[in-house]
Amino acid sequence: MQHAVASIGGDGIGPEILSAGREVLDAAGERFGFDIAWTEFDVGAERYLATGELLTEDDLRELSKFRAIYFGAIGDERVKPGILEKGILLAIRFYFDQFVNLRPIKLLEGVETPLANKGPEDVDFVVVRENTEDFYVGIGSRFSGVREEKDLEIIRDLYEIRFGLDVETDADEIAYQIGVITRPGAERVIRYAFDTAMAREKKVTSVDKANVLSDVYGLWRDVFSDVAAGYPGVSTEFNFVDAVTMWFVKNPEWFDVVVTPNMFGDIITDLGAMIQGGLGLAPGGNINPAGTSMFEPIHGSAPKYRGKDIANPLATIWAGSMLLDQIGEHEAAKAVLSAIEKSIIEGFVTRDMGGAKKTSEVGRHVAALVKTV
């Protein structure tokens, strides 16, 4: 069996950590009887600085031939923040309609958590984040003075009534951003969360802020309730986003599958990363169940560590485990995660986790463990 997978090293430490991850996935293929045909794509800061190109139509057309993309990291100090992230990473997510951002929040054996008296049996849940709507759709503006009637309509109540100013003559500088939730967009990601829960502990927690942002998140709640009616065996609950951050810290064992709109998911998954041991152990999947999905560590490109062979590759390797699961190699995916855990227990880790091993050494070691665990 052969799987075609696209590979994008990206910037900074990206190529190093992705190389370690690929070595592990190749080892998993050797053990479990499949082969990965890697196709590398030259996408990132170097090409952008040389040519001005981020992602071309040819790039996207070629990437569409693959079911999975293995991604390193993006970001370079020579490029203004946001250009590479929006022009490459977000462009891929939106182009391929990767409407699920899947984030396992799992504390592995041998990893310390900042939560007192909590262990691996307490921290083991999944966050399903909607990945294409909410405040990330890019509808908004920032301006000085009044330009258009639509701007007046949006800000008149705030500016004239609350501040007692004449919006047409006293306006200084104003910015607004609009969040969008659609019923189809909410329904598909919530249904994905319920399907995920069916293979776990059959519990889904919905996160929103419907008590204040009642229009967009009121719709989210309605859709959640409608979808839940089709899963009578799954228990459900609603949490406001501020409350869920408290309970992640106090009682992480309460959670099984958490489903959330885009912006809140962006926030709470970073908290989740900390309680599972830090960004060096936090993978993510950008998933289109019927199309092209992308798997990556959630940390940045750490340009100052580029080429030093000291970055922690475990989040990238874990993302590779998620990739294997997505393409149907479930036993191999479990073996990769077990190998990561064993390497941690043995203390064969990089310096950020208290060890002294290099990026490449950890990759080789986990690859060897995959063949035995």
Q: Where are the domains of the chain?
A: 1-111+278-373, 117-133+190-264+271-275, 139-178
Counting residues of the chain whose pLDDT is more than 70, the rounded percentage is 91
Q: Which residue has the higher pLDDT, 146 or 244?
A: 244
Cα dihedral across residues 369, 361, 282, 101: positive or negative: negative
Give per-residue pLDDT as tens, 359-373.
999 999 999 999 998
Query: CA triplet 126, 18, 357: central angle to 5 degrees?
Result: 95
pLDDT score, position 101: 97
pLDDT score, position 165: 57
pLDDT score of 176 more than 90: no
Give per-residue pLDDT as tens, 302-357.
999 999 999 999 999 999 999 999 999 999 999 999 999 999 999 999 999 999 99
- SS3 sequence, the chain? CEEEEEEEEECCCHHHHHHHHHHHHHHHHHHHCCEEEEEECCCCHHHHHHHCCCCCHHHHHHHCCCCEEEEEECCCCCCCCCHHHHHHHHHHHHHCCCCEEEEEEECCCCCCCCCCCCCCCCCEEEEEEECCCEEEEEEEEEEECCCCHHHHHHHHHHHHHHCCCCHHHHCCEEEEEEEECCHHHHHHHHHHHHHHHHCCCCEEEEEECCCCCCCHHHHHHHHHHHHHCCCCCCEEEEEEHHHHHHHHHHCHHHCCEEEECHHHHHHHHHHHHHHCCCHHHCEEEEECCCCCEEEEECCCCCHHHCCCCCCCCHHHHHHHHHHHHHCCCHHHHHHHHHHHHHHHHHCCCCHHHCCCCCHHHHHHHHHHHHCCC
| Stated pTM of the model | 0.91
Separation of alpha carbons 361 and 152, rounded Å: 59
Contact by Cβ (8 Å): 269, 298? yes
Give per-residue pLDDT as tens, 117-168.
999 999 999 999 999 998 877 777 666 655 555 555 656 655 565 555 555 5
pLDDT score, position 161: 56
Average pLDDT over residues 172-191: 87
| CATH fold for domain 1-111+278-373 | Isopropylmalate Dehydrogenase (3.40.718)
pLDDT score, position 240: 97
pLDDT score, position 373: 85
pLDDT score, position 168: 55
294 bridge partner residues = 69, 286
Least confident window among 92-101, 151-160, 224-233, 236-245: 151-160
Separation of alpha carbons 31 and 28, rounded Å: 5
Counting residues of the chain whose pLDDT is more than 90, the rounded percentage is 85
